[in-house]
Amino acid sequence: MYKLPYFNEQNPQLVREFMENHPFVIMTGSFNNGQQVVTQVPVLLEMRDDKLYIQGHIMRKTDHHLAFAENPKVLIVFVGPQAYISSSWYTDQASGSTWNYMSVQASGDIRFMTDDEMVSFMRKLTLRFENNNPHSSALYEKLPEDYTRQMLPGIIGFEVMVEKLENVFKLSQNKDEASYTNIIKHLHTQGGDAALLAVEMEKRQAHIFQKDQEHQ
């Protein structure tokens, strides 16, 4: 992970909002012998006693379940928009092209939930992704009892207390303002992830270049 300070978001609230808005994560770990595993899962965040917890569920008896049970150390990656940045967009074109992106890495020890904890979690999970609509037929408590009775033995809930949280919001903060503005223009024309990055850059532009002016 980049350790360059200008690519690091210092505002914990903005980091937390990014995580909330990108809940489909990459989760990695390894067996004790070093064999690596990876999976992708939707998660929820919860604050308790000033500690951040990441909660989710996985299928039992998979390689990642077995690895996490053997070695509780896990890394969870929240991935946001990303796009190619052409050096032809810079005022000084004697430097290489690059890639802008936003990501957060959270690490800690995994703990598996009890059955009762997992049912409570599944209620929260379905409500969250049904846009907090209490009338949705897709809520956990609205599912047929026969279905949930068959489903639950095949999955297991987990919780990770975050011990280390790092981020890279690489948004051309190291470029001059003219280049920065031109990058935003080109990203907007591409749409998709590129346009989302452009919006994130626009949010930060005044703050970035106000600091530059103060240091002149």
Q: Is there a contact between 87 and 149 (Cβ–Cβ < 8 Å)?
A: no
**Can you give the pLDDT at residue 63?**
97
CA 108 to CA 57: how far, in whole Å? 16
Sign of CA dihedral 129, 108, 72, 32: positive
pTM of the model: 0.93
- For the domain spanning 5-85+98-173, the CATH number is 2.30.110.10
- Could you tell me which residues are beta bridge partners of residue 24? 42
Q: Where do the structural domains in the chain lie, given as residue ranges? A: 5-85+98-173
- Could you tell me which residues are beta bridge partners of residue 44? 55
CA 196 to CA 200: how far, in whole Å? 6
pLDDT averaged over consecutive 10-residue blocks of the chain (216 residues)? 88 96 98 98 97 98 98 98 97 92 98 96 97 96 94 96 97 95 98 97 92 55
**Can you give the pLDDT at residue 210?**
84
CA 76 to CA 94: how far, in whole Å? 37
The DSSP symbol for 97 reads -
**Can you give the pLDDT at residue 162?**
98
How many residues are there in the chain?
216
Q: Is there a contact between 83 and 98 (Cβ–Cβ < 8 Å)?
A: no
